[in-house]
Structure 1
Amino acid sequence: GEDGRDGFGNEGPKGRKGDEGFPGFSGPKGVAGEPGTRGGPGPKGNQGQRGVSGSSGSLGQKGEDGYPGPHGAKGPRGPGVVQCDLVKKIRDNCPCCFGKLECPLYPTELAFALDISRGLNRAAFNKMRNAVVRLVKDITIAESNCPRGARVALTLYNNEVITEIRFSDAMKKRALIERIEGLQIPQSNKPRSLDTAMSFVAQNTFKRVRSGFLMRKVAIFFVGDQVGQGQAISNAALRLHDAGIATLFLVNQPDRTLSSAVQVNSTTLADVIVLPSAETEYSSVIQKVMNCHVCLDVCSPDQTCDYTPTSASRDKRSFTSDIDIDIAFLIDSSETTYPSFFTSIKHYIAHIVEHLYISSNPTSSVHHARVSVVQHAPYAYIQNKTGSPIHVDIGLTEQHSAQDLVKFIQEKTHQLEGGRALASAIESTVEQVFEKAPLPRDRKVLMLFVTGSVEEEKEKLVRIATEIKCRGYFLVIFAVGQTLSAGDAHVLSLMASEPSDVFFKQLDTVSVFYNKHIQAFGQLLPKYISIDNAFYMSPEMSKSCQWFQNDQPMKHALNPSKQQETYQKHHASHQTVHQMKHNDELHVSSITSHSLKLGWSDADPKLSVYFEIMVDSF
C-alpha cells in the first residue's frame, strides 16, 4: 500500500530519568564568608591522675586560748562536816573547854506549856510552876540574840493558848524567874486540848528563833490529867518533830494514850516522863530532865538517858527505812523550772531514795519500797492535747536497788522542757503508774514538785487531790521558787495531806533543799507515812469522801441493810467501797478497780455471815 502522509501523533508518556553524567570541571574559588558565632563551653574532662604529696611542713606556732565554755550543771552538795566530829575537835583543841560544862551546852530555845484546864486546882498549878522555876534557875539564860545559853518562852493552855513570855522578850534571869514565880492559875472552866497547845507552840512560839549550826529547840509540856484523841496528838507531835523541836511531856500519872500517840513504829516523836510525888524521886526526875532534855549533849548523851531526841543533823546519813511503800515523784518540767531547779530536785529525790530499802524483786515481792519518777507535760500534749500528759522516766518496777535508781536519776533523767498540766498529770500518774503496777503496796505516796502558778485551776486541782486522798494516797507537795503567789501556796496547801503544815513545804530558793530540816524531812518521810492511823482526815475532809481510803485497813461499822453512795472517776478506772453497820466490826482492804477484800477486825473465829454487796456504776 501507499505510505501515509507524514504528521505528528499524540504526545507519548514521559521517559525515565537518564543516568548521571560525568562530573564537570571545578569552578573558580568563591569569596571568603563572614566568621560564625563563638561556640559554648565543652563538657568537663576526666579528672587527671593525683600528683605526688609533698613533704610535711614545720610545726607552726601555738594559737591563742579560746573563749571559756558554758558552765556545767551544778553538782550535788558534798557531805560537809559531821556535826559531832566538829564538836569533838573543838573540845580537844580548845583550852577553855575543860572543867565544869555550861548548861545548856548549845544555844537553846526552851518553851514551857502549863496546863490550866478544867479540874486542876491551885496546888497542881503551883507544882508545875515551881518545876519550871527549878529548871530555869539551873541554866544559863541568854539576854540577847547572842548564840549562847537559853532563851525561854512560856504559855498556858486549856482549849486555848495564852502566851505569857516570848523568846523575843530576852529578859534577864532574875526578872524572868520573878515573872514565872508571879504566875497564878486563872479562873477557867474550859476543857483540855493538848494537841491545840502543841500545834500553837510549833507554829507560833517557835516562829522566830535564833539560827545557828548547833541551835537546839526544846518544848516541855506539863499535862495535868489523862488526855484523849490520840490521833490529834500524833499529828501535833508530828508537827513538832518535823520542825526539829525536841518534845517532853511531864505527867502526874502514866498515860497510855499519850505514850502510844507519840510512838511511830520504831521512832519516838517525844518523851513522856511521870513526875513522882515523893521529894527524893522528884529531884532525881528533875535532874534527868536537865541532863537528858534541857542540857542534853547530843554528841555525848548522859548514860542515864533512855531517850535521845532524833537529830536533824548530817550525822544520820546512813539511816535507811525498810517500809512497804510505793512512791512516785511528779516533777513540773515547764518553763518555770529552771535548770538549777531541776538539778536540785533530782538531788533531793536521790537523797530520799538513798534512805529507802528498795525492793530487789519489784514485780514479785510485796515488801520494801518501789520508786517512780515522772515529768509533766510533753510538748505534744500541751500544743495538741494528744498523747499522755506525763512522761515516765522510771516506772515502779524498773529498778532493783537504791544505787541503780540514784545513778539513773542523776545521769539519765533529763528535763522534759514541755509545759504544765498538773491536774491531768496527777490523774495519769495514778492510772498509769500506781494502778498498773502489780502487787500494790498498802502505802502509796505521790510527791509533787511545783514551780509555777496553779491558782487558776484551784477548783479542779482541789477536787482531784481530794479524790485521790479519799482513795488512800498521801500527797506531799513542794512549792519551789519565788514565782508562786500566796494564792498558789493556799491551793497547794489545800491539796496536801493532813496535817498540811507537815506535808506541804514552800521553798523560796533551791538552796533550801539542803536545809537540815528539809533534809531530815526527806529522810524521815517513810516513818511519817508508816505511823499507825497515819491517814488522818479532818472532819471537813471526811465529809467530802464517800468511801474508805484505798488499800488502808480501817475499822468501820458495817450495816448490810444500808448501802452508801458510790463514786466513779470521770475516766475508766474507778474504785468503789461500801460502808455498812454491824455489831461485829469488819474492815476493808486491798481495793482495786475491780475488787475489794472484807475481813474481821478480830482474829477470833466467828459464825458464818452472808453479805450481799452490790457495785453500781453511773
Structure 2
Amino acid sequence: MSDEVLDFQLNNMKSLITRIIEDMNISESSCPAGARVAVMSYSDTAKRVIRFSDYLTKGTLLQLVKDRVLYERTSGQRDLGEAMMYTARHMFKRTRGGMLGTKMAIFMTRMYMGRGDFARVQTTEQQLYTAAMELYANDITPVIVTSVSPESQLTDAFLNFPGRYGIISDSSEEQIMGRLRACFLCYDSCHPDPTCPAERHSPVNVNADVLFMLDSSHGISEVEYEQARGFLYSMVDRFGPSGASPSPLLTGARLALVQHSGVTPGKRDPIEVEFNFLKYAGKQEAMKNHIQHLTRRIHGSSALGPALDYVIGRLFNKQTRSNKVIFIILGGASDHRDHRLKEIALKAKCAGYILFTLSLGSKTRYRELYTISSQPISAHSCQLDVAGADDIDYALRFAESFFSFLPSKWASKTLP
C-alpha cells in the first residue's frame, strides 16, 4: 500500500472488506454458485494478497483477511491506474465460466481522510483511460469507492465507459455498503434501483471516418483471415446504424474497408477497395452482407507503407470527419523491404490520423506495432497471440472501448 495510508485508514478499509464478505454468499464448492473473492494491495505497484484459490470456506477467507491484510509502509505513492491495469490483466486469469457469471473489481482509494495529500490520485490521465479500456475489454465491472469527492480526472476517464461502472463517494461505511448492495453486489437488472447508474446498451456513437485495412498478404493464415472477417462483421454491429451514416454533415461514423498486401505481378496498387465511405451510406445490413461474403483478393508479402500512403491520398478527402481513424488488421510482420513504413506512419499521425493496430497471431513484431500505432501504444493496439473465440470477443470489446473514448479530450491529445 502507498506511503499515504495510515494505520487507522487501513483498519477501516479492512473492516469494509470484511463487511462485504459477510454480506455475500461465498462459494464453498466446485459448483459455480456464490461469489469468489480475491484481495490485492497497491501503491505505485500492485500485488496479490489473497487469491481465489487460497481458501475453501467463508470462515477461512475471513481469517485470511485478518491475517494477510496488514499494514505495510512503502515509499511508493498510490497509482490507481496501475492497480486497475494489474487487475484487468492478472487478477481474473482463472475465473469460472457461465453466462450469468460476472466479474467485479472494487477499488478503495482516498478512504477516510488523515493527511492533506491523501485526496490526490497519483496516476496519469492516459493511464486511467487505458486502464478503463482494459477493464471493459476483459468484461470487468469497476467500482471505485472513496470517502471524498472524486477528482475530475477520475470521473472523466469513465465518462464514456461503455459498460456498467460505479464511483461511490460516501463518508460512512453504512452508506458505502448500501450503495454496493443496491447497485452492484445485489443488483437486479430487471428491477433496478432508480438511484443506480443505468446500464448502457447503446452502440458506439462517434463522429469519425473509420477505414478498416484488412491484411490479405501471405502473412495471414486462412484461419486468421476468417477470424478477421468475423471481427469486422461484428464490429459493424457495435457501431449500430451510425456505422452507415449517409453524409459528412451528419453525426456518427462512416466506415470503409480495403484489403492490403504488397504489389503483386499484374497489379500496381497495394490495396483492393472493398467499399468506400459512401458506398453503403445508410445501409448497415448491406455492409454486413458484403463483409460476410468477403474473399481474399490479393496475396504477396505485406507492404503496409505503400498501402497506408494509398488510402491517405485517395480514400480520405476534404469532407472527412473531425476524427480520421485508420484501423489496421495484421496477420504477420511487414516485408523487411518496406523501408518507408515508419516515414509514412509518422506522416499520417502528424496529419491528424489516428492509427489503431489489431494483430492476430504472434508473428507481428512489437517494434512494428510501435511504429504504426498512435500513442500511447497500449490504447491504440491490441495483440492476440492465439486468436480464439474468447480472444476475438476481447478484441471487439477493446475496439468498442477505444471508439467510445474517441470523443474524450484525452483521445484528442494522441501523439505521433
For normalisation by structure 2, the TM-score amounts to 0.84
Deviation at 1:470?
Answer: 4.2
Percent of residue pairs bearing the same amino acid type: 22
Gaps of 5+ in 1: 1-115, 311-315, 546-618
Q: Pick closer, same or farther for the CA change 1:444–1:290 going to 2, 3 Å.
A: same
The residue that corresponds to 2:13 in the other structure is 128
**Structure 1 residue 176 corresponds to structure 2 residue 61:** yes
Give the Cα separation in 1 of the matches to 2:278 and 2:161: 28
Deviation at 1:241?
Answer: 1.8
The residue that corresponds to 2:275 in the other structure is 394
The residue that corresponds to 1:219 in the other structure is 105
Give the Cα separation in 2 of the matches to 1:163 and 1:458: 44
**Structure 1 residue 370 corresponds to structure 2 residue 254:** yes
Are the equivalent residues in 2 in contact too, given 1:117–1:158 (CA < 8 A)? yes
The residue that corresponds to 2:299 in the other structure is 418
Are the equivalent residues in 1 in contact too, given 2:244–2:253 (CA < 8 A)? yes
User: Which structure has the larger Rg?
Assistant: 1
Are the equivalent residues in 1 in contact too, given 2:209–2:254 (CA < 8 A)? yes
> Given residue 106 of structure 2, which amino acid in structure 1 is its aligned partner?
I
Q: Pick closer, same or farther for the CA change 1:222–1:460 going to 2, 3 Å.
A: farther
Matches within 5 A, 1:111-150: 116-143=1-28, 146-150=31-35
> Given residue 418 of structure 1, which amino acid in structure 2 is its aligned partner?
H
Are the equivalent residues in 2 in contact too, given 1:493–1:504 (CA < 8 A)? no
The residue that corresponds to 1:601 in the other structure is none
Are the equivalent residues in 1 in contact too, given 2:207–2:322 (CA < 8 A)? yes
Give the Cα separation in 1 of the matches to 2:95 and 2:23: 22
Q: Secondary structure at the match of 1:214?
A: coil
Give the Cα separation in 1 of the matches to 2:27 and 2:335: 44
Matches within 5 A, 1:351-500: 351-356=234-239, 357-358=242-243, 360-362=245-247, 365=249, 367-377=251-261, 381-383=263-265, 387-401=268-282, 402-411=284-293, 413-419=294-300, 420-434=302-316, 437-454=317-334, 456=336, 461=341, 464-481=344-361, 484-485=362-363, 488=365, 491-492=368-369, 495-497=372-374, 498-500=376-378
Deviation at 1:461?
Answer: 4.5
Deviation at 1:514?
Answer: 6.0
Gaps of 5+ in 2: 111-118
The residue that corresponds to 1:24 in the other structure is none
Matching residue within 213, 226, 234 for 1:330: 213
Matches within 5 A, 1:33-432: 116-143=1-28, 146-182=31-67, 183-224=69-110, 225-227=119-121, 229-265=124-160, 267=162, 270-277=165-172, 282-297=173-188, 299-308=189-198, 316=201, 319-337=202-220, 341-356=224-239, 357-358=242-243, 360-362=245-247, 365=249, 367-377=251-261, 381-383=263-265, 387-401=268-282, 402-411=284-293, 413-419=294-300, 420-432=302-314
Give the Cα separation in 2 of the matches to 1:204 and 1:129: 22
Deviation at 1:263?
Answer: 3.1
Matches within 5 A, 1:509-520: 509=387, 511-512=389-390, 515=393, 517-520=394-397
Are the equivalent residues in 1 in contact too, given 2:212–2:258 (CA < 8 A)? yes
Deviation at 1:261?
Answer: 2.6
Give the Cα separation in 1 of the matches to 2:164 and 2:131: 10
Deviation at 1:175?
Answer: 1.8
> Given residue 254 of structure 2, which amino acid in structure 1 is its aligned partner?
R
Larger RCO (alpha carbons 8 Å, 6+ apart): 2
Q: Deviations over 1:135-165 (max 9, x none)?
A: 0112122345542222211111111223211
Deviation at 1:289?
Answer: 0.4
Deviation at 1:432?
Answer: 2.1
Q: Pick closer, same or farther for the CA change 1:184–1:422 going to 2, 3 Å.
A: same
Are the equivalent residues in 1 in contact too, given 2:245–2:254 (CA < 8 A)? no
> Given residue 193 of structure 2, which amino acid in structure 1 is its aligned partner?
Q
Are the equivalent residues in 1 in contact too, given 2:261–2:307 (CA < 8 A)? yes
Give the Cα separation in 2 of the matches to 1:125 and 1:368: 47
Give the Cα separation in 2 of the matches to 1:284 and 1:256: 20
> Given residue 321 of structure 1, which amino acid in structure 2 is its aligned partner?
V
Deviation at 1:305?
Answer: 4.8
Matching residue within 493, 498, 503 for 2:381: 503
For normalisation by structure 1, the TM-score amounts to 0.58
The residue that corresponds to 2:116 in the other structure is none
Give the Cα separation in 2 of the matches to 1:474 and 1:222: 34
